[in-house]
């Protein structure tokens, strides 16, 4: 059983994550779903850096893991799979 501090910390991290996803949508001036936000984070280093700095994540692998923990079905997106096959990123 988690203590109250841990519960609040987890909620705060999820709130930051969703706020950053909204920020990406605003910056792109489009309504984006999570798969498209994830794709943009994979493509653009500036978004990766914003997410890593805000969520206190050390590397790209942890960031990808965070996205997949939030939504385990992201890997099924054909656009993400296609992008990763064409452009392997440094993890």
Whole-structure pTM value? 0.86
Using one digit for the tens of pLDDT, what is the confidence trace for 23-77?
999 999 999 999 999 999 999 999 999 999 999 999 999 999 999 999 999 888 8
Residue 22 has pLDDT above 60, yes or no: yes
pLDDT at residue 90, rounded to an integer: 61
Looking at per-residue confidence, does 85 or 88 come out higher? 85
If residue 24 lies in a helix (H) or strand (E), which one and from where to where? helix 4-28
Helix (H) or strand (E) segment spanning residue 65: helix 60-70
Provide the 8-state DSSP code for 89.
Answer: P
Say if residue 3's pLDDT is above 70: yes
Identify the pLDDT of residue 76.
Answer: 87
pLDDT of residue 56: 94
């Amino acid at each position: 059983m988690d203590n109250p501090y841990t519960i609040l910390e987890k909620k705060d991290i999820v709130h930051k994550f969703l706020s950053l996803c909204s920020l990406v949508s605003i910056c792109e001036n489009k309504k984006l779903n999570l798969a498209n936000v994830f794709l943009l984070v994979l493509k653009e280093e500036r978004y990766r850096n914003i997410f890593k700095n805000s969520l206190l994540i050390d590397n790209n692998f942890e960031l990808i893991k965070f996205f997949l923990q939030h939504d385990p079905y992201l890997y099924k997106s054909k656009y993400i799979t296609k992008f990763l096959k064409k452009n392997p990123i440094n993890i």
